[in-house]
Structure 1
Amino acid sequence: MTKGLKRANYSVWCILALALMTCPAWADLSDEQENEQHPRMSVSRDYVELDEELNTRFWHDKAQSILADKLSHHKKLNENRAKNVILFLGDGMSVHTIAATRAFMGDSNKQVSFEKFPYVGLSKTYAVDERTPDSASTATAYLSGVKGNYGTIGVNAQVKRGDCLAGTDKSTHTESIAQWAQEAGKWAGLVTTARVTHASPAGVYAHVADRGWEHDEKITSSNCSAELNTDIARQLVEWPVGRDLRVVLGGGRASFRDKSMRDEESFAGKRNDGRDLIKDWQQDKQQKGAEAHYVWSREGLNNLDLTKTDYLLGLFDVSHCPYHGDRTRMHMDYLEPSLSEMTEAAIKVLSRSEQGYFLFVEGARIDMAHHTTKAQKALEDTEEFARAVELARSLTSEEDTLIVVTSDHSHTMTINGYPYRRQNILSLAPNLAEDALPFTILSYANGPGFVNTYDENGRKDLTHTNTKDPDFQFQATVPLNTETHGGEDVGVFASGPHEHFFSGNYEQSTIPALMAYAANIGPFAPDKLKN
């Protein structure tokens, strides 16, 4: 576009943009504030140089260090049996998200913790019926080794989303690596910043034709029977894999209590069957004579003696846990634990198992921030996710604990323009577009950020907009109420026993097979493969 381009061609887009701008879902957008930078000024490429980077020797030494590290790993592969396996899942954590997080942390030469792992690969994320997947079909793949259809959990591709009967056929149910671990005498648990009944964590223990069936009311509203189809919350409390999970930490209290009941913060439940599944969980553990604890706050978690805890259920929010950055900004950090804190608690409990354990940890809100095109919140949650990984690695040994870090799918966010080396990744690109207007360094192919891209005059001038406001929605090309996932491959990072298995490019459904082989559990255990 040139500066003198007629605006008539934008009319359709402007109508859509205005519709999004007036939609109640986005009515909480902050007022535009004066930006610290003025993008119309001639932007200098000058920045604070690191003297060492000016010398050839620095780069050669850096390469030598990396080479030496690779040679040391090559000489002695870690082929120990994995007593413990921890799978970290950054929901929606694309390669672009990881790269942007590096810059968000201060500089492109930084690494988030898991990028230092010795082996890296790529997994292919498509669902059986969709090129771009969701968190349900992918959970089935990376937890059970079977690819299913979009929107289904723990069932094979014979089950279409929303099929009232197909998912009740147990022959279609897949087995998760958590089940394999339990059958081998290991403990298993999950941690998430989403509802514990949400798509990704549900892949650990549930089997449903529709990811939305988190409680019974959701099933009946889909015109299916809540008697024939067991909702996800009930499966967590009643079905074998869910019932035997030693640790369950996250959000989602409402799915466990009837609408007539109020939780610890006076929020109503969502169930229609009159049940309090949290009480049912407590009674089940009491009958076993186990030391079991239910907590709903950070204080409650901190007050527990985890060295004497057999079962731990923590539901810290009525729905999803807050974004990590919002925990501080909204003064919620005293009430709800961070992902790192929940991860540490889980490891302390599971480490009591003499046979070892499997732990699933999800940084769920990376994905949710991307869907709203609020890139800063996505990067804040990715940074916290990386902290949780680093903490887990420090609490465990590379000799007996395999840690795998990956994502279920990508998003459409890209890093564009020509920002200078240490420019704030949340700011405007230093170069103007052909229409002489600025644009954001981070942008999305689609989503609600369209309201910050076009108005009735064409492309919006963001010169005086505060793009560093956590609630700023970064620019998007195509107007959608929620930004979509991306369909490209995602990274897989590994450290610990059989870490070398995770290099190359492979199906996402291969991941649990590799972990199971390393841990000698399930159908992919070495001795079973020999048969």
Structure 2
Amino acid sequence: MSLTTSTAARILRGQRKGLPGEDTDLVWDTFPAVALAKTYNIDVQTGESSACATALLCGVKARYETLGIDAGGRFNNCASTINTKVTSLIDWAHAAGKWSGIVTTSRVTHATPAALYAHSPSRFWEDDSRVPPTVRRDCKDIALQLLENEPGRSIKVILGGGRRHFLPTITMDPEHPDKEGKRLDGRNLAEDWLRDKKKRRQRAQYIYSRDQLAKVDPLTTDYLLGLFEYSHMDFNVDRDVVHEDETSKTKKESDPSLAAMTRKALSILLKNEKGFFLFIEGGRIDHGHHNNNPYRALDETLEMETALLAALELVNPAETLVVVTADHGQVMTFGGLSTPRGHPILGADSVISDVDDLGYTTILYGTGPGHSEPRTLPSSGTKFIAKHDVVHAAAVPKMWSTHGGEDVPVYALGPMATILFAGVVEQSYIPHAIAYAACLAHQSHRCITNNTTERKVTQNCSQPEVTQGSIAEETRNDETRKRNIIVASSVMSDERIRSSAQDFKSFVIYIYHINVLSLCLMTNYLSKG
């Protein structure tokens, strides 16, 4: 998440409790390790989601709007993906025998989660209708890769939105009877996913409602696919609003919360004695900002915090590395002149403009639809508090606000967090730091496994050789660590990363969309076997 989003959400959290808010802490504010990550892409100054996600989840900087391929890939060029595919944290987790999961409030085929399992010259190729007909045989769409290719085919839990990319045009959506699927190949990928799991004698379920999620028994379910919306899932403030279809007059059930999906995912993944990898994304924070709607963006940030707190209740922090960060920032800003403590963060400044004598909100945007909205604030300013549909002012008119190009914070908690996360680092460093911490992939040689114990498999991990940026120096005594420990590696050149990333071992990842996207990487350390 951007610092601005995190700070504003922190204040809102406190003010919802009747406090001034400025001295309130979000859960990641209490983490002992903090760093900054550079979010530029190979070819652009201000980072874009899919390219940033490739850096963040695959350890390789990428080009604008490409997905899961290195700098040799070109946008919309299918042929350029042949020799440019890169492996991801989920690949590395599977190689170590860990189970994996994706939980998001965006479409599961959207730019950020898709970087974990797909390789595409365009983030927009979410179904075959978006892929040029001449290359459909050579470049599968993103949803089809999730169904048929590794590592997508082996992901245990997939929860989010985006049913339209799994349903054919001849099939109407189960919750929106006026909408049909997008696929042109006639396939129902949700049914095909379930059929594939049954064929392999796996215990699997496909669901699309909150009630169905609540009824899933984790003890009898090893694979779970939940697609809860036609496109993105509802904003939290809209989840409990009764939806009524104009044609059928049937009420649409509310979507599950991010926290509910997180709990269900962990209840399944925790069954694996070798550990797990979980990616959790609060994907709608970004969308709130793009609409110059800070109420929804900040509310979604607090929902992400709730999901993280739910996860921390189920895992042992001593055995889990948690990293909270963002793929890129946004152009939201907030400030004021002599604004008193405890002033509503969603309100107006305590003074009016000395140019046009009009009030203005504490939160403003650099670009976006708010430029065309009239400033209707009362002259007193201080009595105004924005509701969930209010669009805040922007300096430059655009249909959607742009991203921010500033560094994003990285907060870390857990084993080796203070050693590996400090200073200013490249975004592509983050997964390699995790690899070092866990002795995974290109860092697996650092650990010597001792299989002589009956219940605990221990490892001796070497000390870091090089760390990116000004990483804190800490001394470690010789110690045995449980099998799924996460140890971080030094950052490498893109070419070396590509060649060495094939052996990545396992761990858990957790992503949250905070500003544009707040990411929480969660790596399970403990082997119970």
TM-score w.r.t. the length of structure 2 is 0.78
Partner of 1:303: 215
Give the corresponding residue for 2:378.
Answer: 463
What does residue range 269-284 of structure 1 map to in structure 2 within 5 Å?
269-284=181-196
The runs of 5 or more residues in structure 1 that have no matched partner are: 1-92, 454-459
Aligned to 1:349: 268
Partner of residue 292, structure 1: 204
Name the CA distance, whole Å, in 2 between partners of 1:224 and 1:212: 16
2:49 pairs with 135, 140, 146, which one? 135
Alignment correspondent of 1:60? none
Q: What SS class does the counterpart of residue 261 from structure 2 fall into?
A: helix
Match of 1:67 in 2: none
**Residue of structure 1 in register with 2:489 after alignment:** none
Offset, 1:461: 4.7
Distance 1:278 1:333 in 2: 20
Q: Provide the C-alpha distance between the structure 2 equivalents of 1:333 and 1:527, rounded to a whole number of angstroms.
A: 52
What is the match of residue 257 of structure 2?
A: 338
Matched, 1:485 2:399: no
Query: Structure 2: where are the runs of 5+ without partners?
Result: 16-20, 244-250, 448-461, 466-499, 501-529
* 1:224 positional shift: 4.9
2:74 and 2:137 mapped to 1: Cα distance? Answer: 19
Say which one has the larger Rg. 1
Residue 497 (str. 1) matches residue 380 (str. 2): no
* Alignment match, 1:52: none
In the alignment, does 2:394 pair up with 1:476? yes
For 2:85 and 2:194, the matched residues in 1 are separated by 27
- Deviation, 1:216, is 0.3
Residues in 1 aligned to 2:294 and 2:144: alpha-carbon distance in whole angstroms: 35
**Partner-residue secondary structure (3-state), 1:120:** strand
Aligned residue identity for 1:485: H
- Give me the whole-angstrom Cα distance separating, in 2, the residues matched to 1:521 and 1:303: 36
- Give the counterpart letter for 2:326 in structure 1: S
The one-letter amino acid of 1:244's match is S
In structure 1, C-alpha distance between the alignment counterparts of 2:416 and 2:433, rounded to whole Å: 8
Q: Could you state the TM-score of these two structures normalised by the residue count of structure 1?
A: 0.78
Structure 2 matches for 1:206-217, cutoff 5 A?
206-217=118-129
Separation in structure 2 between the aligned mates of residue 187 and residue 333 of structure 1, nearest angstrom: 32
Counterpart of 1:104 in structure 2 is 12
The corresponding residue for 1:316 is: 228
Residues 96-495 of structure 1: pairs in structure 2 closer than 5 A: 96-105=4-13, 106=15, 107-167=21-81, 169=82, 171-220=83-132, 224-265=134-175, 266=177, 267-330=179-242, 335-418=254-337, 419-435=339-355, 436-452=357-373, 460-463=375-378, 468-495=386-413
Would you say the 8 A contact 1:263–1:269 is kept in 2?
yes
Q: Residue type of the partner of 2:42?
A: V
Contact 1:164 1:224 (8 Å CA) reproduced: no
SS in 2 for 1:151: coil
Structure 1 counterpart SS, 2:434 = helix
Is the contact between residue 412 and residue 446 of structure 1 (CA under 8 Å) also seen in structure 2?
Answer: yes
User: Residue by residue, what CA displacement relative to the aligned partner does 1:309-351 show, whole Å, maximum 9, x if unpaired?
Assistant: 1101000001000111111345799531101111111111110
Instruction: Measure the CA separation in 2 of the matches of 1:357 and 1:224.
Output: 39
Greater relative contact order (CA < 8 Å, ≥ 6 in sequence): 1
Paired residues of 2:242 and 2:254 also in contact (CA < 8 A): no
Contact kept in structure 2, 1:517 and 1:526, CA below 8 Å: no
Aligned-partner Cα distance in 2 for 1:257–1:334: 20
**Equivalent residue letter for 1:133:** G
Give distance in 2, aligned partners of 1:422 and 1:288.
Answer: 58
Q: Percent identity?
A: 40
Runs ≥4 residues deviating over 6 A? 528-531
Secondary structure at the counterpart of residue 365 of structure 2 = strand
Write the deviation string for residues 262-285 of structure 1: whole angstroms up to 9, x where unpaired.
232233100000001111111111
SS at match of 1:337: coil
Structure 1 333/508 Cα, relative in aligned 2: closer, same or farther at 3 Å?
farther
Distance change >3 Å, CA 329–CA 468, structure 1 → 2:
farther
Question: 287-296 or 261-270, which moves further after superposition?
Answer: 261-270
Partner of 1:294: helix, strand, or coil?
Answer: strand
Amino acid at match of 2:181: G
In structure 1, the residue corresponding to 2:102 is in which secondary structure? strand
Could you say if the C-alpha distance between residues 224 and 431 of structure 1 is closer, same or farther in structure 2, counting changes exceeding 3 Å? farther
**1:469 shift after superposition:** 2.2
- Output the CA distance in 2 between the equivalents of 1:485 and 1:349: 35
2:434 to 515, 518, 524: 515
CA contact (8 A) 2:262 2:280 kept: yes
Pick the structure with more helix per residue: 1
CA contact (8 A) 1:177 1:522 kept: no
3-state SS in 2 of match to 1:355 = coil
Q: 2:173 corresponds to which letter in structure 1? A: D
1:307 shift after superposition = 2.3
Superposed CA RMSD:
1.8
Maintained 8 Å contact 1:194/1:252: yes
Go from structure 1 to structure 2 and tell me whether the alpha carbon gap of 1:489 and 1:333 turns closer, same or farther (over 3 Å shift).
Answer: farther
Structure 1 residue 520 displacement after superposition: 2.2
* Deviation per residue, 1:199-236 (Å, 9 max, x gap): 0000110000000000000112xx65211110000000
Distance of 1:241 and 1:328 partners within structure 2: 35
Contact 1:376–1:470 (Cα < 8 Å) also in 2? yes
Distance in 2 between the 1:333 and 1:445 partners? 36
